[in-house]
Amino acid sequence: MTDTGAPPGQGPLRATLRITWPFLLMVVLLAACVASSLYVLSAVRAFVAGESLWTKGQKDAIYYLDRYAATGSPDAYVQYRKAVEVPLGDKAARLALLESRPIDLNAAREGFARGENHPDDIDSLIWLLQWFHRFEIMRQPLVHWVVGDQHIASLQLLAEEIHQGHTAGLVDAGTRRSWQASIRSINAGATPAARAFSASLGDSSRRIVQWLLWANVGMASLLILLTTWHTRGLLAQRQRAELALDAEREQARITLAAIGDAVVTTDLQGQVLYLNAAAEALVGMPAREATGRPLAQVLQLNDGTGALGAEHLVERVLRGGPTHRDGFTPTVVRPDQSAVPVKLMGSPIEHQGRPKGAVLVLHDVTREQHYVEQLSWQASHDALTGLVNRREFEHRLEVLLSQPRAVGREGALLFVDLDQFKLINDTCGHQAGDEMLREVCRMLQSHLREGDTLARLGGDEFGILLKDCPPGPSARIAEQLRQAGHELRVLWEGRQLSTGLSIGMVQLIPALSTIQEAMRVADMACYRAKEGGRNQVFVYQTEDIEMSRREGDMDWVRRLRLALEHHRFRLHAQTITALQRDGAGLHLEVLLRLAEDGTELIAPGCFIPAAEHYGMMPAIDRWVVRHTLAALAQHQAAGGPAVHTCAINLSGTSLGDESLLRYIHTEIEQSGVDPHLLCFEITETSAISHLPSAVRLMKDLQQLGCRFALDDFGVGMSSFTYLKHLPVDYLKIDGSFVRDLLDDPTNRAMVEMINHIGHVMGKETIAEFAESMEIVDALRAIGVDHAQGYALSRPVPLADCLRKG
Ligand SMILES: Nc1nc2c(ncn2[C@@H]2O[C@H](COP(=O)(O)OP(=O)(O)OP(=O)(O)O)[C@@H](O)[C@H]2O)c(=O)[nH]1
């Protein structure tokens, strides 16, 4: 960059001095040289003038002394005295300066004044003699001056003699002639001496002038050299700065040309000064054509302010205002009328704190917008079918539910599930399944009206929103869809694939006010369609009681899934007390609880039926087994009180699950818990309804050392005969007999009978619901082996139960 201004932190005067000081110094030196030369010349001139006066004084003195000698005229003598005073004064001054120590400047001044020198010249005469008398150039004139003074001294002596002669009146002609001859003799010596003094002085002054001339020429030459040298330095520095500036400019130009963002600069009036390559491409105009034009002619900008163009853009940028309307993405309208969305930034260009123009940077955000659109599409659509997804479907449903709906034309919500779709995947492969899903989607779409919504809710499940549709037409559309689904044939690798549609439909009556409710009911209706044999439409009727129950069940399914996913189950335990003898250790039953946000713990009776109905028990049982074993293992490792029996409930629906058996094996093995501590409780009814698998499971686990208890025993009395087939260790007498034991003799008899039969068959008995000590006492009296109930202990968290023993 050129050194145009002062470096930061320096004033302009200092910056100027930094560059010009050598020149200033040279001018001062030259001025000093000239001034001193002039002074020397002036001193020399004064010396020459003094010498003239000195010579004249000498001559006058000789003349007047000659007249005095001839005439004895006192007037001539006075004239003589006056004339001789000049050389004598000069001599006195010379002696005061050159021979008196210390130098007597006053005497010197007085002497030169007597020598009739001009008062202004006296100081320069003193200066010249004082400082230059040793120089060769001054020594010669001084020698001649001294010689001249010797003749003056002779003349003075002669003048004394003549004056004494005339004063005494003893002067004769011979004496006069003798005096005049002496005067002529002195004159003969003095005149050449004066001439030599004058000549040598002239010579010296010429030489001095010459020297001064050369000195000044030399000084001037030196100064020219120095100036040239310094100027060359400055020029080289400037050249370096210019080269650096050029390099910087080039670098900036290449950078601007290379960057992807369009850069436009303007002056204060908004005239375009520069466009980089990206800007040329964006506005569709070459830089040479755009330069000098008003920005609005070059950049067609829709900045959201209403006016197309960039008329006031520069003005706004210079004011520091916004470049476009808040929340609006400005677009550049290209000559072909295509619009390019841009991110627009503008800043003023300032030089030394003063605005010079504006720079605009336009970043093409087409790709970003595309990504955003893509992402938002992906967030709301299903990739396989291109349909809206569950989230978007629920959103639309929510909008629909929030709007007032005309009575009788509320519209309908349909859940469509493909029948036995898994078969297609399993037999023809996943790709065939995908193709079927796409075809079903096309088919469904073709039967819907404009404004209806079709969504893929997941897997082989579709959702349909029929807007503004009375029940009759809704049902007809649903039936058409079912029919079309049934007739649909998809050709895949030479095979014809077919499926059926199970459709659940619900009219969106005002009573269905939330999405959750509407979706649950539609899901239920679909479930009913499946349950009814598939390939059918089930229309939900508000008064359908069975449906309502299932609705509740379906909600449980959702909640239980969440509970498994988010670890909302808790393990509690209740101790079982030995009634006939001291227990050999802790005997407890593990109980499951559900802990949902903000609610009390939920007992299993509330959710087990739904979980069993919708096949969730195997998963829940697995959860219980794993976490109970983990708690026992931890308890053993911590050296807690000895556990004799830990009872774990297994659902009837888990009994036929082969994989559960393997799971229990693995878990026992991995936990390191002694299998002899474990007792699995299964209900009497479930054991009987899954008899073969229940027996297999029992025998298998019994080989490990596990025990079994038959829970709720007695409720299915007709199944008593099966008892001998079930290799259980404990019979748990159903609580309904125990609870009323004291008041109801039949129940007491039932307890006694069960206890008796159990003992006969070699099984221990446990009575549930021992809610008072009276009941406990009665049970003990009957001979029941163990009791469990609030009178003995309440359920507590498993860890606490284990710790307390
Ligand atoms: N090809 C394919 N299969 C999928 C996709 N998503 C889920 N599935 C399969 O769809 C099947 C859905 O099965 P279900 O609805 O549970 O059972 P189904 O065989 O249809 O039987 P029903 O519904 O009881 O009539 C499962 O096998 C899934 O693996 C997918 O995107 N593509």
SS (H, E, C) 6-58: CCCCCCHHHHHHHHHHHHHHHHHHHHHHHHHHHHHHHHHHHHHHHHHHHHHHH
Residues in the ligand 1 pocket, defined by CB under 6 Å: 384, 417-422, 425, 430, 433-434, 437, 459-460, 530, 534
3-state secondary structure of 327: coil
Structure confidence at residue 598 (pLDDT): 64
Q: What is the mean pLDDT of residues 154-172?
A: 90
Q: Token match 């000064």: residue?
A: 273
> In whole angstroms, what is the distance from residue 786 CA to residue 781 CA?
12
pLDDT tens digit string along 351-367? 888 889 999 999 988 88
What mean pLDDT, rounded, does the chain reach?
87
Out of 5-9, 69-73, 185-189, 583-587, pick the least confident: 5-9
- Please check whether residues 455 and 587 belong to one and the same domain: no
pLDDT tens per residue across span 23-36: 888 888 888 888 98
In a domain, 547, yes or no: no
In this structure, the residue with its CA closest to atom 3 of ligand 1 is 433
What residues form DSSP beta bridges with 730?
Answer: 709, 764
For the chain, how big is the Rg over CA atoms in Å? Answer: 66
CA of 437 to the centre of ligand 1 (A): 10
Same domain, 400 and 272: no
Are 732 and 712 in contact by the 8 Å Cβ rule? The answer is yes
Atom of ligand 1 minimally distant from the CA of 434: 1
Per cent of the chain over pLDDT 70 is 94
Complex ipTM: 0.98
Compute the distance between CA of residue 411 and CA of residue 512 in angstroms, rounded to an integer: 12
Same-domain check for residues 295 and 162: no
Residue-range definition of the domain harbouring residue 645: 567-804
Cα–Cα distance for residue pair 303/307, rounded to 1 Å: 8
Kindly state whether residues 420 and 298 are assigned to the same domain: no
Q: Out of 390, 416, 425, give the residue to mutate to test ligand 1, the one with the largest number of ligand atoms within 8 Å of its CB.
A: 425
Pull the structure tokens for residue 183. 């005067």
Note whether 99 and 220 are same-domain residues. yes
Pocket test for ligand 1, best of 415, 436, 460, 501 (most atoms within 8 A of CB): 460
Residue 384 Cα, ligand 1 centroid: separation in angstroms? 14
Q: What is the pTM of this model?
A: 0.43
DSSP three-state, residue 355? strand
Question: How far apart are the CA of 380 and the centre of ligand 1, in A?
Answer: 21
CATH of the domain at 278: 3.30.450.20
Report the atom number in ligand 1 closest to the C-alpha of 432.
1
Atom 14 (ligand 1) nearest CA? 422
pLDDT digits (tens, 9 = 90+) for 127-156: 988 888 888 888 888 898 999 999 999 999
- Please give the structure tokens belonging to residue 186: 């002195």
Q: Is residue 249 part of a domain?
A: no
Buried b (16+ CB within 10 A) or exposed e, 310-337: bbbbbebbbeeeebbeeeebbbbbeeee
Quote the number of domains for the chain.
Answer: 4
Query: What residues have CB less than 8 Å from 239, skipping those under 6 apart?
Result: none
Measured distance CA(576)–CA(583) in Å, rounded: 9
* Index of the ligand 1 atom closest to the CA of residue 425: 1
Cβ pair 396, 463 in contact under 8 A? no
| CATH number for position 683 | 3.20.20.450
Mean pLDDT of 279-299: 90
What is the strand order of the sheet 461-466 is part of?
Answer: 453-458, 461-466, 412-418, 501-507, 537-539
Ligand 1 centroid distance, CA of 422 (Å): 5
**Are 145 and 266 contained in the same domain?**
no
Phi-psi region at 449: left, alpha or beta (left = phi > 0; alpha = psi -120 to 50): beta
Tell me, yes or no, whether 537 and 571 share the same domain.
no
In a domain, 472, yes or no: yes
Please count the residues of the chain.
805
Query: Residue 441 Cα, ligand 1 centroid: separation in angstroms?
Result: 15
Contact 730, 707 (CB under 8 A): yes
pLDDT in the model for residue 718: 44
Same domain, 123 and 212: yes
